[in-house]
Every structure is written in structure tokens, then in C-alpha cells.
Amino acid sequence: MPTFTDQMGYSIELDTPPKRIVSLVPSQTELLFDMGLEEKIVGITKFCIHPIEKCKKVAKVGGTKDFKWDRIAGLKPDLIIGNKEENEQQGIQALQKRFPVWMSDISTLTDAYNMMLQLGELTETEDKTIELVAEIQQAWSLLPKTKPFKVAYFIWQNPYMVAATGTFINHLIQQAGWINIFAHKSRYPTVTINEVKALKPDVLFLSSEPFPFKEKQVQEMRTFFPEVSVQLVDGEMFSWYGSRLLHAAIYIHTLQEKMKRY
């Protein structure tokens, strides 16, 4: 019986390729569809929205942290796919007692590529997944280096929280050639307006997720930072580590071109 070890060191055994998959992570759900596994995806979270029309047809098993245990059990999955950051440890450990659970742990593009390739092997979709990864790698290899703008990437308001070292968001900021002014902090620290001012950013990115920053917040920030470029950005392009990375490379290149004007 083949054994598969995930990115957190957990091992699962599968005697046949999975036929009933539950995904607990939006970006990995989109990836599974793009890997051609549509007929095998039986459960997803309420936050799994891409591809839109296909996700509408799949049973929902709660959120990424508040699972509906009875729904998951009723779907009789032979594979559940989760992520260290997206899903809470306690819930995952409870699922592991009953089902094969494969976990990803991603903070770099290399981690993301390995996740895709491992899932390709696990689901016997290697050829399609290898092709997808090569296409994404090509897109990112063409991303030019740019002026090292100093960036703060906001993910939350009240209190303000930013993405810092150890996050996938920070890694993509670095890939674009920018400098994260909070690289000296870890993960998702709470910050104050005065702290941000002291670090003299060139650009503030206000993400569309998890807090849905809108134009109202952009205008508020501009009152605090009249000399700084404040921009709304698509959070999926900075934090989704599945097949959306192909679109993310193009999106970030567009941002690079836009920032040249500042």
C-alpha cells in the first residue's frame, strides 16, 4: 500500500487513488479543479469560490476553521486536503483519527510547487500537474526586478495587521523586488500608524482579504500618509498558492508597471 508523506511530516496510506476528496483550503480547491479532479471533489468550504460555477455545485462542509463534522462524515471522503495556516490544529487532528488527511505548509514558491507535484502524484494526475507547475515557474521567471519600493501590506483593520517574515505574502513581495518594511517582524503582527510612519514606506497595499479593504479605507489611509501611494490589491494574488499563481505573476507585473509612476 503506497505511503504519502505531507509537508508537515504526516504520513497516510492509500491503496487506490482517492475518489472522494474534501478540500478545506480555497486555493487548493481551485488547484484540484485545474488538475482535472472535478468528478472526485465531493466537499469544499464555504470560502472555496473558484471556479465559481463548479464550486456552487459541490457540498459545503463549513469554514476553514469551523468544520461541519456530520457533513464531512456523510460524504465518506477517502482523502481530505488541508493547510497548516488555514486550518486549526485541533480540528485537523480530530479528522486525522477518522480519515486520511494530507496537509500543506507553504511559505515560498518552492513550497507551493512541491505541494502541487505531491498532490499530482497522490491523485495520479502527474502529467497535468507537472505541466501546470512548469507554466507557473515560467511566468514567475519572466517577472522583472524593479525599483526596491518600501512596502507595507495590510491584511486587517482594528487593529491594523500586516504581513511580515515567514508568510507567503512576504515571499511574493520579495519576488517582485520590493522591500517589506515589516520584514523584521514575524508572521502577522499588529502595528500602529506611528510605527508605519517611522519606517517611511513608499507604498501601502490594502488587501481584499481577509479584511475586505475598500476605497473608504484607502481615503482614510491617505489622510495619515498624504505623501505615500495607497493601493487596493487583490489578496488572492498574494496569498493563494495553487494554480492562481499563474495569474498572480501577471498581476504583480502589472503592479510593478503601475508603481513606476510613483
Domains of the chain (ranges, CATH numbers): 3-140 (3.40.50.1980), 150-259 (3.40.50.1980)
Q: Helices 245-259 & 168-175, crossing angle to 10 degrees?
A: 50
pLDDT at position 145 is: 79
Confidence band for 261, pLDDT divided at 50, 70 and 90: low
How confident is the model over 97-138, as pLDDT tens digits?
999 999 999 999 999 999 999 999 999 999 999 999 999 999
Pairing of strands 3-5, 11-13: antiparallel
Averaged pLDDT, 203-208: 97
Measure the CA–CA gap between 65 and 16, rounded to whole angstroms: 28
pLDDT of residue 262: 62
Task: Give the rounded percent of residues in the chain with a pLDDT score beyond 70.
Answer: 99
DSSP lists the bridge partners of residue 23 as 81
> Tens digit of pLDDT for each residue in 143-181?
887 889 999 999 999 999 999 999 999 999 999 999 999
In this prediction, residue 178 carries a pLDDT of 94
- The three three-digit cell numbers of residue 147, written as one number: 525599483
What is the per-residue pLDDT for 1? 61
Q: What is the pLDDT of residue 52?
A: 92
Assess contact for 128 and 35: CB atoms under 8 A. yes
What whole-number distance in Å separates Cα of residue 30 and Cα of residue 255?
23
**CA distance linking residue 92 with residue 95, whole number of Å:** 5
Q: What is the pTM of this model?
A: 0.92
Report the pLDDT averaged over residues 5-12: 94
Give residue 4's pLDDT: 92
List, for residues 233-247, the tens digit of each pLDDT value.
999 999 999 999 999
Beta-bridge partners for 62 = 67
